């Protein structure tokens, strides 16, 4: 994240508007309300029935992945994906089970966008196994959706 911070620091318009906010906003979690329109489209499924509370580091790395993915910057989006995966897998980073489960959902979505359906499947299963209530439903929905996509792609070929 330091490298990204350093790159953004050199963009004058970004520095004027965003960096003063860094002094004010510090949070361990990012909260999205039910049916939030502020959340990226890739996470809309997660806020259909409930609010979403994401670990701030996970969300930052997921946004970094999405930005590089949408800009077709393959090497950077792959690097962001690795950083996201490393953050989630370190036991001292995300301690709360719900946050860890939601982080695995983000990782699964990132793998899915990257084209690695098997790793996406594993990430969604890990989210399902960690959580007992709301995230379990989302993980199952993601698994079913991924299965449907795989089934349809085989029928097209």
The pTM of this model reads 0.72
Band (pLDDT 50/70/90 cuts) for residue 99 is confident
pLDDT band at 156 (very low <50, low <70, confident <90, very high): very low
Helix axes 56-70, 74-89, angle to 10 degrees: 160
pLDDT band at 16 (very low <50, low <70, confident <90, very high): low
Phi and psi for 103 in degrees, rounded to 5?
Answer: -65, -40
CA atoms of 98 and 29, how far apart (whole Å): 12
């Amino acid at each position: 994240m330091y490298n990204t911070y350093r790159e953004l620091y050199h963009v004058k318009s970004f520095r004027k508007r965003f960096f003063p906010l860094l002094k004010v906003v510090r949070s361990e979690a990012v909260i999205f309300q039910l049916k939030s329109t502020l959340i990226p489209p890739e996470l809309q499924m997660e806020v259909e029935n409930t609010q979403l509370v994401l670990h701030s580091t996970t969300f930052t790395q997921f946004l970094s992945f999405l930005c590089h993915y949408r800009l077709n910057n393959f090497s950077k989006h792959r690097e962001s994906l690795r950083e996201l995966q490393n953050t989630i897998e370190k036991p001292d980073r995300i301690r709360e089970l719900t946050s860890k489960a939601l982080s695995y959902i983000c990782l699964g979505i990132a793998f899915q966008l990257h084209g690695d359906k098997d790793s996406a499947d594993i990430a969604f299963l890990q989210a399902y196994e960690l959580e007992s209530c709301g995230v379990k439903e989302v993980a199952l929905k993601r698994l079913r959706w991924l299965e449907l996509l795989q089934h349809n792609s085989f029928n097209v070929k």
